[in-house]
Amino acid sequence: MESPLSSPIAAPVDAIVVPSDEPEIPETETGQASSPFEWREIAALVALVVVADLTLYRGHGPAGIALFLVVAPVLFLLGSPAPTISRTLCCIAGMLIVLAGRLVWCGSVLMLPIGLALLVAFAMSLSGQRPYVLEALVFASQSVWAGYRGLAEFGRSLLRVRTGVARMTWLSVVLPATTALVFSTLFVLANPDLMEAFGEHISRGLTAVREWLIQAVPEPLEVLFWLAVLWISMGLLRPVMGGSGSEENLRGRAKVDRPAEQRPSPLYPAFRNTLIVVIALFAAYLVFEFKTLWFRVFPDGFHYSGYAHEGAAWLTVALALATVVLSAIFRGEVLRDPRLPKLQRMAWLWSVENLLLALAVYNRLFIYIGFNGMTRMRIIGLFGISAVVVGFLLVVWKIARHRDFVWLIRRHLWTLAIAIYLWAITPVDIITVRYNVQRILTGDPAPSVQISVHPISAEGIPWLLPLLECDDPVIREGVRAMLAERLEQAENAIPRLDQLGWTAFQIADQVVLERLRPKRAEWTRYEDHSERAASLAKFHDYAYQWY
């Protein structure tokens, strides 16, 4: 009978497992060994629950959210079993700090989802993975299972505590003494007669403690919130997804090798003809575009909305479609075709035309801005067309550098995510109000419609003050009535904000009070609500002619 050691499938001598007294490290469901829990990790998880409760659950505004977005990454870093410090991690941390600053200045609860998405990206980068958008969604979803696995493993680790704790003789004294103190305090607090027996001063202190404990007792929903934060945080710190990732995932430089064997693609003629057609079509259209909308004075009755507003949107769609077409052409069998360089030259020509089309879209947006001023949606339009242009340039880079389709999709999603983030941190109302006010003061009353029609946040209100000296009496009085209303609203909100606490604090709210109160004499007459309403109605009717 053949010996097991002589068998070709037998394990080598070095692989024989020797029993040891060392504690066994448990394996995860994926076969990877999970690292033991450390006290810093447990402390970080508890701190995350406490901070989330104080800033989010019990919080009432932007300042609380901002503090959470700054503190949570620090606790993630302290609690990570094996943190990976990288440039990506530092970049995301910087983005969180900027977003927190924006929240403290003038933010909204709508910025919380953006901050939470950045926290997921931070945790993903901390585990050694590159935070692509789709992968980040998967990483966030796996935190539910990973959190359960981590909590279960933590529970098992508590049961494996060795007798070393029993040798701590001091614990045999401290633990019962602490327990007795806690229960004695609770018993005294539960009985007013016992509280009086301890004297007036002690009784007063115990009464304060009792009231504090009553207020501090969490609601059932709050306990569920604690559990959710603990669960998800555990899943983000101990993900089931591989921490190191593949080399491609870390570098993000997937490259498609040009095959040595070249053969004609049956799709080549179709793609070639398509590029010829779009090159000719784009050339003809660009001639028309530059002839009709560039370097000309627009007559009265010009259809600004149809050309500059809706038209810019349709051209943006055309650019996005060109991105899809160009990406679809340069993949698969076409890359093996020996005539590929000719196809690439046509693609470069069409790319130049697409960039000219992008300039045409910018021009149309600025035509509309020049007609009646700046708005939030026009800033969103500028961000949108810029994101489309970046996406198109990524396709050009993909073709030139032979990147694969996954590389392109990841970069496109990054572009969209970064555009959303940049819009969130941009002081939009300062830009719009300041631009419109400057236009009005130079003698162009058309942007007044944007002040009358669109809402203005606290950060934009102080920039209306120069219009108190406007030569146009309708605009001047209308703005005075607006400022009288906003000052009244801001002062009426003070008791409510004080009641909500520091988490509702926002610098822009304080700036409004500090800037408007010294100017109160300018709009004394508009403290009368009927006078104010009449002036606002007159201003709205006057400005609406430029809508």
Which residues fall within 8 angstroms of residue 527, CB to CB, at 6 or more apart? 484, 488
Which residues fall within 8 angstroms of residue 70, CB to CB, at 6 or more apart? 96, 97, 100
Residue type at 105? W
Reported as a single tens digit per residue, the pLDDT across 314-323 is 788 888 888 8
How far, CA to CA in Å, does 47 sit from each of 2, 40, 53, 78, 79? Answer: 61, 10, 10, 11, 10
**Count of residues making up the chain:** 547
- Is 385 inside any structural domain? yes
pTM greater than 0.75: no
> Rounded to whole angstroms, how far apart are CA atoms 110 and 272?
47
- Is 7 inside any structural domain? no
- Is 11 inside any structural domain? no
Share the mean pLDDT of the chain. 81
Tell me the CA end-to-end span of the chain in Å, nearest whole number.
97
Q: Which of 403, 426, 449 delimits the end of a domain?
A: 426
- Is 353 inside any structural domain? yes
Clarify whether residues 287 and 213 are in a common domain: no
Q: Which of 373, 405, 426 delimits the end of a domain?
A: 426
pLDDT at 435: 96
Clarify whether residues 402 and 449 are in a common domain: no
Clarify whether residues 405 and 446 are in a common domain: no
Domain count across the chain: 3
Clarify whether residues 116 and 183 are in a common domain: yes
For residue 101, which of 91, 85, 115 has the smallest C-alpha distance?
A: 115
Clarify whether residues 394 and 450 are in a common domain: no
For residue 283, which of 349, 223, 207 has the smallest C-alpha distance?
A: 349
- Is 366 inside any structural domain? yes
Residue type at 428? V
Clarify whether residues 86 and 189 are in a common domain: yes
> Rounded to whole angstroms, how far apart are CA atoms 387 and 420?
10
Clarify whether residues 436 and 412 are in a common domain: no
DSSP state of 447: T
Coil, strand, or helix at residue 59? coil
Q: Which of 201, 222, 249 delimits the end of a domain?
A: 249
- Is 287 inside any structural domain? yes
Reported as a single tens digit per residue, the pLDDT across 341-386 is 898 899 999 899 989 989 988 888 888 888 889 999 899 989 989 9
- Is 259 inside any structural domain? no
Q: Is the pLDDT higher at 525 or at 167?
A: 525
Reported as a single tens digit per residue, the pLDDT across 131-183 is 999 899 999 898 888 888 888 887 777 655 444 444 445 545 565 666 566 65
Domain that holds residue 444: 431-546
Clarify whether residues 60 and 187 are in a common domain: yes
pLDDT at 109: 77
Does an H or E element contain 495, and which? helix 473-500
Clarify whether residues 364 and 319 are in a common domain: yes
Clarify whether residues 488 and 450 are in a common domain: yes
Which residues fall within 8 angstroms of residue 262, CB to CB, at 6 or more apart? 336, 337, 338
Reported as a single tens digit per residue, the pLDDT across 196-231 is 565 555 666 666 666 666 666 667 788 888 888 988
pLDDT at 510: 93
Clarify whether residues 272 and 353 are in a common domain: yes
- Is 193 inside any structural domain? yes
pLDDT at 252: 45
Is the CB of residue 119 less than 8 Å from the CB of residue 69? yes
Clarify whether residues 187 and 46 are in a common domain: yes
